[in-house]
A and B are shown apart, each in its own frame.
Chain A
Amino acid sequence: MKSYLGPLNRDNPILTQTLGVCSALAVTAQLKPAVVMALSVTVVCAISNLIISLIRNTIPPRVRIIVQLLVVSTLVIMVDQVLQATFYDVSKMLSVFVGLIITNCIIMGRLEGFALSHTPGASLVDGLMNGLGYGLVLVVVAIFRELLGSGTLWNHQLIPSSFYEAGYLNNGLMILPPMALILVGGLVWIQQGTRKSSEK
């Protein structure tokens, strides 16, 4: 059980394995696209893990990467279509990054490292947890960036206008990708720091 929860903290795909950082920097300026992105990656990761695990004994090892890519890109195209049909504005905002889920190292890594050698049930849970671990970091970073950078959360004004009258200003650096990198770095710092002390 504990190994399934690993991706949320100890084996977090972004914080520990530093995979998928590019999309984490690009889509976290606001909370809404970050949540949508996190859900998309979770769905793709979980279902592709399940499918590959189901057919793992029939895939010839030589062409397994191509098979994995086919499965993942089919799923990504479906997710993209669903997003365009339901959340058109968010889909516009995410633009190319939904398509780029295909190249997200987390998904390929889980397929290669886990789904090819485990049963479908375990693979499904593993894919789900890795997607959620990725999503967790995205949401935390996005909350900081949107709240401090725009004063809003899920497009609702959270910082009262009396603050602005008293001289408060939104932090423009939070909107820029460099600050996302610093925030992810800060999370890595906190995670590694607390881990060390708990292992002692």
Chain B
Amino acid sequence: MGLSQFSDKIRKNFEKGKPLHCFSSLFDAVDTFLLTPKTVTTTGSHIRDAVDLKRIMITVMIALCPALLFGLWDTGYQHYLALGQACSIWTCFSYGFLKWLPLVIVTYVSGLAVEVGFAQWRGKQVEEGFFVTGFLIPMIMPPDIPLWIVSVATIFSVVFAKEVFGGTGYNFLNPALMTRAFVFFAYPSVISGNSVWVSGSPEAITGATPLAQLMNGGEQTASFLNMFIGTIPGCIGETSKIAILIGAALLLFTQVASWRIMLSVIAGGFLTGSLFYGIGLCPINGWQHLLMGGFLFGAVFMATDPVTATHTQSGKYIYGLLIGILAIIIRVINKGYPEGMMLAILLMNIFAPLIDYCVIQIKIKKRKKNILLHKTQVFNNINKPK
């Protein structure tokens, strides 16, 4: 018996009033994931493009892969470097993979359980929204983070950043960043400090990230070339700037992410960094800021989230610029938060609807003026003496 027939055969057990109805959302999700949906439009459909939510999500996930693969290798590399042992590429990679795998499983299980639960409660289908979120969450966590914390944080952010507002497409905060923010404020000892960034490092060896070293005024041990390639301690996904740029190229080529946002975030960060360098507040200049910490990862994968970013074209420039400016301001001026990118993006997520509103109102005002002008002209033409 084929999979399709099997699905058809057990489908009626999940209908309303049948014993397995409480699992109908789960059945529906698995069924849609494996096979084509049973529901089809009865009237004419209006397809303008083959791109749907599923394809956008898959593109983002493919774009994340270079950063992920490099991050897995780097996790192992930093581990063996701290222990002072030599290792092959393959050993490093498999070490990182075994660190990453439980993280990703825990994230998906807890996140999807909440999503399925809510979908069942509301009588809706499970949306694909969590697939990218669940992929992003392990990439912005330190490799050794306790799994129960990841689970608690994921559940919190899916419930309070997404489902409360109505689920996928209605959230105004980025759920992946909310997960990180939750960990950051609730369990600061596992995500900040010097000893969390190198996996399995002995207590005596501290693996501070270059950004933390800079902010604490310590000796800079990593060169900017290292930061660009990514052989530095850090979260799993953020270390390699080359890999992130490859992902960015794919996102821009497929037009999944907005180039306006990426460009203006980077411009905002660069200008503010240069300004602080110019007035002597910070020892590193604008382009060096871009290579440090999670700035680039945030600019490419977090700020461009189509749901939480601004929707108007000129709003995107304002939104991006403010993210870049705020991220560097938080970084340089508030020593308590070495990484300002997460807080800057979350803050601007909240302001995005306001920016959109202002942009639209300005446009409407302009057009109203034009209409009035046009009307008076027509009126004058009609009443012209012949």
Binding site for B on A (CB under 8 A): 167, 169, 171-174, 176, 182, 185, 189
The contact of B187 among A171, A176, A185, A189, by CB within 8 Å, is A171
5 closest Cβ contacts across the A-B interface? Answer: A173-B186, A171-B186, A173-B185, A169-B187, A172-B186
**Is there an interface contact between B190 and A173, defined as CB atoms closer than 8 Å?**
no
Q: How far is the CA of A28 from the CA of B164 in the complex (A)?
A: 23
- Closest chain-B Cβ to A14's Cβ sits at a distance in Å of 18
**Is there an interface contact between A173 and B160, defined as CB atoms closer than 8 Å?**
no
**Is there an interface contact between B188 and A172, defined as CB atoms closer than 8 Å?**
yes
- Closest chain-B Cβ to A187's Cβ sits at a distance in Å of 13
Neighbouring B residues of A173 by C-beta, 8 Å: 182, 185-186
- Closest chain-B Cβ to A165's Cβ sits at a distance in Å of 13
Q: How far is the CA of A173 from the CA of B153 in the complex (A)?
A: 11
- 21 example contacts (A-B, Cβ-Cβ < 8 A) are as follows A167-B146, A167-B148, A169-B146, A169-B149, A169-B187, A169-B189, A169-B190, A171-B186, A171-B187, A172-B185, A172-B186, A172-B187, A172-B188, A173-B182, A173-B185, A173-B186, A174-B186, A176-B185, A182-B160, A185-B164, A189-B164
Q: How far is the CA of A174 from the CA of B188 in the complex (A)?
A: 13
Smallest CB-CB separation from B181: which chain A residue? Answer: A173
Say what secondary structure dominates the interface of chain B: helix
List 9 other contacts, CB 8 Å, given A171-B187, A182-B160.
A167-B146, A167-B148, A169-B146, A169-B149, A169-B189, A169-B190, A172-B188, A176-B185, A189-B164
Smallest CB-CB separation from B182: which chain A residue? Answer: A173
Q: How far is the CA of A189 from the CA of B164 in the complex (A)?
A: 9
- Closest chain-B Cβ to A97's Cβ sits at a distance in Å of 23
Number of contacts between A and B (CB, 8 Å)?
Answer: 21
Neighbouring A residues of B164 by C-beta, 8 Å: 185, 189
Smallest CB-CB separation from A149: which chain B residue? Answer: B186
Q: How far is the CA of A176 from the CA of B146 in the complex (A)?
A: 22
Q: How far is the CA of A169 from the CA of B189 in the complex (A)?
A: 9
Q: How far is the CA of A78 from the CA of B186 in the complex (A)?
A: 39
- Closest chain-B Cβ to A40's Cβ sits at a distance in Å of 30
Neighbouring B residues of A185 by C-beta, 8 Å: 164
Smallest CB-CB separation from B188: which chain A residue? Answer: A172
Neighbouring A residues of B189 by C-beta, 8 Å: 169
Neighbouring B residues of A171 by C-beta, 8 Å: 186-187
Q: How far is the CA of A189 from the CA of B160 in the complex (A)?
A: 11
Smallest CB-CB separation from B164: which chain A residue? Answer: A189
Q: How far is the CA of A167 from the CA of B186 in the complex (A)?
A: 14
Q: Which residues 151-183 of B sit at the A interface, judged by CB distance below 8 A?
A: 160, 164, 182
- Closest chain-B Cβ to A5's Cβ sits at a distance in Å of 29
Neighbouring A residues of B148 by C-beta, 8 Å: 167
Q: Which residues 169-214 of B sit at the A interface, judged by CB distance below 8 A?
A: 182, 185-190
Smallest CB-CB separation from B187: which chain A residue? Answer: A169
Q: How far is the CA of A176 from the CA of B188 in the complex (A)?
A: 13
Q: How far is the CA of A11 from the CA of B148 in the complex (A)?
A: 38
Neighbouring A residues of B186 by C-beta, 8 Å: 171-174
Q: How far is the CA of A173 from the CA of B160 in the complex (A)?
A: 14
Neighbouring A residues of B160 by C-beta, 8 Å: 182
